[in-house]
Structure 1
Amino acid sequence: MALHLGASAGFLGEAMPGLVAGDLWEALYAPGDAAPAHGVYRCEGCGEEVTCARSAPLPAREQHAHYGPWRVQWRLVAKTAGA
């Protein structure tokens, strides 16, 4: 889970329905897929989070191995402004 200090809360915004593409938040991405946006991605299998730049590949299975039956699938949980 991404964490922040109370003082940094003013720098965070909430995505409003209709203002952002919902598919971006709902979709699951496979290992090695190009990230559709700059942001924080969460593995649906184990809960680990990684940061990834738009168009960069999300961590591959070889880079993010699970020691159990969970599948590696990434979900965007926090979109960030890109450079």
Structure 2
Amino acid sequence: MAHKKGASSTRNGRDSNAQYLGVKRFGGQVVKAGEIIVRQRGTHFHPGEGVGRGKDDTLFALVAGAVKFGSKRGRKTVNIEQPQVAEPVEA
């Protein structure tokens, strides 16, 4: 057994912290205003109706509703569909 480590083994052993990126709320899931929908680097997904974008490209809900993924002009978008409020029918 060697008493000294190999020449390059002491130069290894570094790793970066996990970034926890990705989709946090999937299509059809209900979100409240302010909830994070997607954490990303760059705009893989673009904000649509009811969705805001943070300075680090994080997408978050501006209103409460259901998440809906779609596309517009060849770009993937994230929208929030607000629940329909039924109006009373006069008899």
* More strand, by proportion: 2
* More helix, by proportion: 1
**Relative contact order: is structure 1 or structure 2 higher (C-alpha 8 Å, sep ≥ 6)?**
1
How high is the TM-score relative to the length of structure 1? 0.28
How high is the TM-score relative to the length of structure 2? 0.27
